[in-house]
């Protein structure tokens, strides 16, 4: 029985990956709006109904695509996190996210536009990933507190939300075309984070 279950799990994961990859390729090639779930199913080599075993709708397929990309870049940047001031460590993390989004700006814009209020299974996975990222930010603040760079009485949840909010504002500014990618990072994001960190000091 265990072997059968393992086989089923493996096949389900393989199917999920085919669906995810097909959705990614079509979203990039044809755009989110023009891509249909039936086209994704055909490209993945699965029945149309099978797609909905892995996502609640087309937007949720986009969240499936972006969840895995976000997770990968956050893990990579966390592994390569430099020692040093809080500002440099934050920029290292956020730079990775910007670079990932910059690979396919249209896809990034669709993702940001459709995520608020979404409640499909992959939207919830993205929300869980975001909460984990906020925790990472909070732990960076804890490290900065230990070094005396940040006041010991700073509320970690509020602080991590503020830092994320500054990143998200810079991201939206870039996606709207108001600044270049490099301009969104420096000076827009870097200066905003530096000002926030000034307010966190003892």
Angle between the 37-44 and 2-30 helix axes, to the nearest 10 degrees?
A: 120
Contact (CB, 8 A) for 156 and 138: yes
Residues 6+ positions from 151 with CB-CB distance below 8 Å:
145, 200, 201, 202
Is 2's pLDDT higher than 50?
A: no
Q: How many residues does the chain have?
A: 202
Structure-block tokens of residue 177: 């075309």
Confidence of residue 1 (pLDDT cuts 50, 70, 90): very low
Contact (CB, 8 A) for 130 and 97: no
* Start and end residues for every CATH 1.10.357.10 domain found in the chain: 56-198
Mean pLDDT for 80-91 is 98
Structure-block tokens of residue 69: 């990309």
Superfamily of domain covering 56-198:
Tetracycline Repressor, domain 2 (1.10.357.10)
Q: What is the pLDDT of residues 15-52, one digit of tens each?
A: 999 999 999 999 999 999 999 999 999 999 999 999 99
φ, ψ of residue 104 in degrees (nearest 5): -145, 80
Which residue pairs, CB below 8 angstroms and at least 24 apart, start in 161-165?
Answer: 161/134, 162/196, 163/90, 163/137, 163/193, 163/196, 164/130, 164/133, 164/134, 164/137
Confidence of residue 5 (pLDDT cuts 50, 70, 90): low
Q: Where does 112-155 show beta strands of DSSP type E?
A: none
Q: Where does 28-139 show beta strands of DSSP type E?
A: none
Q: Which fold has domain 1-54?
A: Arc Repressor Mutant, subunit A (1.10.10)
Which residue pairs, CB below 8 angstroms and at least 24 apart, start in 43-52?
Answer: 44/15, 44/18, 44/19, 45/18, 46/15, 46/18, 46/19, 50/15, 50/19, 51/19
* Start and end residues for every CATH 1.10.10.60 domain found in the chain: 1-54
CA atoms within 13 A on the CB side of 115: 20
Instruction: State the pLDDT at residue 7.
Output: 80
Contact (CB, 8 A) for 181 and 102: yes
Q: What is the pLDDT of residues 178-192, one digit of tens each?
A: 999 999 999 999 999
């Amino acid at each position: 029985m265990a072997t059968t279950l393992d086989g089923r799990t493996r096949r389900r994961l393989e199917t999920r990956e085919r669906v995810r990859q097909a959705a990614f390729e079509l979203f990039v090639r044809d755009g989110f709006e023009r891509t249909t779930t039936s086209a994704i199913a055909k490209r993945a080599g699965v029945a149309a109904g099978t797609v909905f075993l892995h996502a609640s709708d087309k937007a949720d397929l986009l969240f499936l695509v972006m969840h895995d990309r976000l997770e990968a870049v956050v893990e990579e940047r966390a592994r390569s996190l430099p020692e040093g001031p809080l500002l440099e460590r934050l920029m290292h993390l956020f730079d990775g996210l910007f670079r990932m989004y910059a690979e396919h700006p249209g896809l990034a814009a669709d993702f940001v536009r459709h995520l608020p209020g979404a409640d499909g299974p992959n939207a919830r996975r993205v929300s869980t990933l975001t909460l984990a990222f906020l925790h990472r930010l909070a732990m960076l603040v804890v490290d900065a507190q230990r070094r005396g760079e940040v006041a010991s009485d700073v509320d970690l949840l509020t602080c991590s939300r503020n830092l994320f909010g500054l990143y998200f504002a810079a991201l939206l500014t870039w996606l709207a075309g108001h600044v270049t990618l490099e301009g969104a990072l420096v000076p827009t994001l870097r200066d905003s984070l530096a000002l926030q960190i000034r307010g966190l000091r003892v």
